[in-house]
Chains A and B, each alone.
Chain A
Amino acid sequence: MNKTWNNKAWFLVLPVMLLVMFSAVIPLMTVVNYSVQDTFGNNVFFWAGTEWFEQMLNSRRFWDAMGRNLAFSFIVLAIQIPLGVFIALNMPRKGWGVPVCLVLMALPLLIPWNVVGTIWQVFGRIDIGLLGHTLAALGIDYNYVRDPVDAWITVVLMDVWHWTSLVVLLCYAGLVSIPDAYYQAARIDGASRWAIFRYIQLPKMKRVLTIAILLRFMDSFMIYTEPFVVTGGGPGNSTTFLSIDLVKMAVGQFDLGPAAAMSIIYFLIILLMSWVFYTVMTNYDSER
């Protein structure tokens, strides 16, 4: 659509600007201010320069949390994207099955995040949970409270349970937008199942898949509530992701300076990824 140039449109955007600025810009400025100062409470601050940034950038704790976050995002994407595409390809396309599938699959997306955590915390327990109890009955040594590997399996499984439906829904929306004539032509040509996927379905899903990958990456990169409820970041620090560490530092230990420095580094990374996301999206839009 060719849009007209009109700077008066700013007045229509102004309410949004003010509303979001109140909650975004003032806190961001405050975080920057905190990051260069030290405090002992009571709003008394001392200049600390770049000390906190140096400390953060050279601390094992920060890089470990970052590494865990990247590993988590990578594992979750590697499972959710292929699984989501596979399920979307096998969804019914008409009849009573469609609304049933859509509603049931979307259900996990609407559960408050800490309830998701509670559900899995209970589900995985050996004494009262179905999963934990069944595994124990089968003779498998599984305990997410004690064993870091089991904790990771639980958190990843929970995220797969929670968010795979998002990938399914997006891919399904891409698939139903393929006109029937395409399949008709493929049938006349005697195309194989793989050829239909590769040359008809995959190109149509490219756009929604991009959205799915980027959204899932960013949301998994800021995961907080679910693992916090299930494992509390433990055992040890094995499931302490960046957000969990940040809240622990800011609220738990009241280390405002280091926490602010960490917030800024974290935010800059998110900013970079958002920019990639936006650039990719707008380039798709202009291709259309």
Chain B
Amino acid sequence: MTLTWMAWTWPTAVFFATIFLLLAAMCVWEYVSPGGNPRFGILRFETTRGDRLFVSLLGSAFIHLAWLGLVGPNLWWALALSVVYAIGVFRYV
């Protein structure tokens, strides 16, 4: 049984590690202050911080895709935009 067919690369490994670290961090956060801070934001339904993380990540994915399709291959700007978007989501949604 080998795993060469999975074709790991450093960038993708870092990407998944980041996602898992984020999930772990959310668990710790939940442990420290339970309840998930539910509230009604601008989307007009109840969200917890887990929902906000998901909306941020999914939105960031689409921002990156849109940047690739419309602007060009330099994704650092898309990343910056995503961070701004994520802060916005955690603040207002």
Which residues in A have some Cβ–Cβ distance to B below 8 Å? Answer: 5, 26, 29-30, 32-34, 36-37, 39, 43, 45, 47, 49-50, 53-54, 57-58, 265, 268, 271-272, 275, 279, 283, 286
Contact B65 A279 (CB under 8 A): no
Give CA–CA (A275, B45) in the complex, Å: 13
Contact A43 B7 (CB under 8 A): yes
Q: What are 13 A-to-B residue pairs whose CB atoms are below 8 Å?
A: A30-B6, A33-B6, A33-B8, A33-B12, A34-B7, A36-B9, A37-B7, A50-B73, A54-B69, A268-B61, A268-B65, A275-B58, A286-B46
Contact A50 B6 (CB under 8 A): no
Q: Which of A30, A33, A54 contacts B73 (CB 8 A)?
A: A54
B75 interface hit (Cβ, 8 Å): yes
Q: Please name the residue on chain A nearest to B54 by beta carbon.
A: A275
Question: B5, B9, B16, B68: which has the most chain A beta carbons within 10 Å?
Answer: B68
Looking at the assembled complex, report how far the CB atom of B91 sits from the nearest CB atom of chain A, in whole angstroms. Answer: 20
Contact B61 A30 (CB under 8 A): no
At the interface, is chain B mostly helix, strand, loop or mixed? helix
Give CA–CA (A32, B17) in the complex, Å: 13
Contact A43 B4 (CB under 8 A): yes
Give CA–CA (A37, B6) in the complex, Å: 11
Nearest 5 pairs of A and B residues by beta carbon: A57-B69, A33-B7, A45-B7, A43-B4, A30-B6
Contact A43 B16 (CB under 8 A): no
Give CA–CA (A29, B5) in the complex, Å: 11
Looking at the assembled complex, report how far the CB atom of A33 sits from the nearest CB atom of chain B, in whole angstroms. Answer: 5
Contact B75 A50 (CB under 8 A): yes
Contact B5 A37 (CB under 8 A): no
Chain A residues lying within 8 Å of B34, measured Cβ to Cβ, are 5
Give CA–CA (A220, B58) in the complex, Å: 23
Chain A residues lying within 8 Å of B46, measured Cβ to Cβ, are 286
Q: Which of A26, A57, A286 contacts B68 (CB 8 A)?
A: A57
B92 interface hit (Cβ, 8 Å): no
Give CA–CA (A116, B2) in the complex, Å: 39
Chain A residues lying within 8 Å of B69, measured Cβ to Cβ, are 54, 57-58
Contact B58 A54 (CB under 8 A): no
Contact A32 B15 (CB under 8 A): yes
Contact A50 B9 (CB under 8 A): no
- Given A30-B7, A268-B61, A268-B62, residue A54 in contact with residue B68 (CB < 8 A): yes
Looking at the assembled complex, report how far the CB atom of A243 sits from the nearest CB atom of chain B, in whole angstroms. Answer: 19
Looking at the assembled complex, report how far the CB atom of B67 sits from the nearest CB atom of chain A, in whole angstroms. Answer: 10
Chain B residues lying within 8 Å of A34, measured Cβ to Cβ, are 7
Looking at the assembled complex, report how far the CB atom of A82 sits from the nearest CB atom of chain B, in whole angstroms. Answer: 28
Chain A residues lying within 8 Å of B11, measured Cβ to Cβ, are 36
Give CA–CA (A17, B58) in the complex, Å: 22
Chain B residues lying within 8 Å of A58, measured Cβ to Cβ, are 69
